[in-house]
Structure 1
Amino acid sequence: MLKKVLKNQQGLTLIELLVVVVILGIIAAIAIPSIGGLIDNAKKDAHIGNAQQMINSAKLLVASEGAPSGSEITLKNLEDSGYIEPVENPDGGEYHETSSKVVVGKAGNNYTYTVTLVAGSKTIINGKQARELKRDVVTN
């Protein structure tokens, strides 16, 4: 008797297959937007990291060579003088070497550093200090 029952099992019915497809569709509808948000946040974090690295490199340059208040230190200057390695743009392409810059200011005895990060014709971070670098200031 058990042998006959096992032989009659042909596979899944059409309704069972439709249920599986619907469940997979629901899972995909939930997962895809959350993965897209994770990727976007990772790119913003990479831009912030690049901007922080530019500020740190500019601080090192100012400490080593000095720089007058109000001077602009471009990404190209930092790369050419060996204070920073070539910086990768997480969106692809490259950062603009002369428009991406750190502006050195002086407030009393302290220096201030504001960074602007430009990729192509798009300004990603516009004139922000290190403490202001958060995801919401990054334009993607």
Structure 2
Amino acid sequence: MRSRFQKVMKNQKGMTLVELLAVIVILAIVTAIAVPSIGGIINKSKDDAQKSNALMIINAAKLAVVSNNETIMGKINSTDHKITLQDLVDEGFLDSVPQNPYLKETTYTGDKNYVTVTQAGSKYVYTVTLDNKSGTGNTTTYDEKGKATK
């Protein structure tokens, strides 16, 4: 009987507790490496979307200036040189106010999001100021090349 029991025990296949723990440790290490990397990729894609929005808005403002739109040119010639995103939509240079990539289902609203157009000699200089990641009124300004200036 005892030899039969030993024979059955030798034929059993499966993982020991130590092997199982080793697999769990390996999975934990892989997860610890992968999760921060994925988070970084998501944040980078949001940063890229923000930059793309800034460039699109600047191009809309350039088109408005080139078309010599009265409303837009009046804003440029005012003391603050600011064109709101809603102005660009109202005058037909943007289809709609873009969505803020950092805040789900929220567009750039309020007076914190605008294009500044200043004249430097015979040339216009464009910058766009948009809500940043927090959406709490802190802003980031982008130049015509999409570089964040502050």
Q: TM > 0.5 between the two?
A: yes
Distance in 2 between the 1:97 and 1:65 partners?
Answer: 25
* Counterpart check, 1:8 vs 2:8: no
Distance in 2 between the 1:29 and 1:121 partners?
Answer: 31
For structure 1, list consecutive stretches of 5 or more residues without a partner in the other structure.
none
1:9-88, aligned counterparts within 5 Å? Answer: 9-66=12-69, 67=73, 68-69=76-77, 71-84=81-94, 85-88=96-99
1:118 and 1:124 in contact (8 A); partners too = yes
**Larger RCO (CA under 8 A, 6+ residues apart):** 1
* Counterpart check, 1:113 vs 2:123: no
SS in 1 for 2:108: coil
Distance in 2 between the 1:47 and 1:123 partners?
Answer: 14
For structure 2, list consecutive stretches of 5 or more residues without a partner in the other structure.
1-6
1:100 and 1:118 in contact (8 A); partners too = yes
State the Cα RMSD in Å: 2.4
1:55 and 1:130 in contact (8 A); partners too = yes
Higher strand share goes to which structure? 1
Displacement of 1:96: 1.8
Larger Rg: 2
Q: Which amino acid aligns with 1:110?
A: K
Work out the percentage of aligned pairs sharing the same amino acid: 44
